Amino acid sequence: DGGITQSPKYLFRKEGQNVTLSCEQNLNHDAMYWYRQDPGQGLRLIYYSQIVNDFQKGDIAEGYSVSREKKESFPLTVTSAQKNPTAFYLCASSTDTGYPRDGYTFGSGTRLTVV
């Protein structure tokens, strides 16, 4: 089945460490996105990428970094500079980079906890 795979499902990190969240899609989608979901705050855009080797900051990019070396993969690194990293992270993708008529397809998420 085509879809988006996020791994791991749960991740624990010590303060001061960087950690990378994986997102892989086999939908042949051009655009990929990372959102952060916090209770009562909805989904906030961290980074997005419309094409390989190109990505743009979203609304809350500080303390995060991404890469897009392959169409299928869009990993997110949560750096030690992110002041409040404990959250639920969602990866999404869409077919049309210019005007996604079908909305997004979402992964099942990674819950990151800083201990």
Q: Which residues make up the interface to another protein (CB under 8 A)?
A: 31, 33, 35, 40-45, 48, 50, 56, 58, 90, 92, 96-104, 106-109
Considering beta carbons, is residue 77 or 106 the nearer one to another protein? 106
Question: Which of 11, 43 has the CB closer to another protein?
Answer: 43
16 versus 39: smaller Cβ distance to another protein:
39
Of the pair 27, 45, the CB lying nearest another protein is at: 45
Q: DSSP letters along the chain, please?
A: ---EEEE-SEEEE-TT--EEEEEEE-S--SEEEEEEEETTTEEEEEEEEEETTEEEE-TT-TTEEE--SBTTB--EEE-TT-S---EEEEEEEES-SS--TT--EE---EEEEE-
Cα–Cα distance, 7 to 32 (Å, whole number) = 16
Q: How far is the CB of 111 from another protein (least distance, A)?
A: 11
Closest approach of another protein to the CB of residue 16, in Å: 30
Smallest gap from Cβ 112 to another protein, in A, equals 16
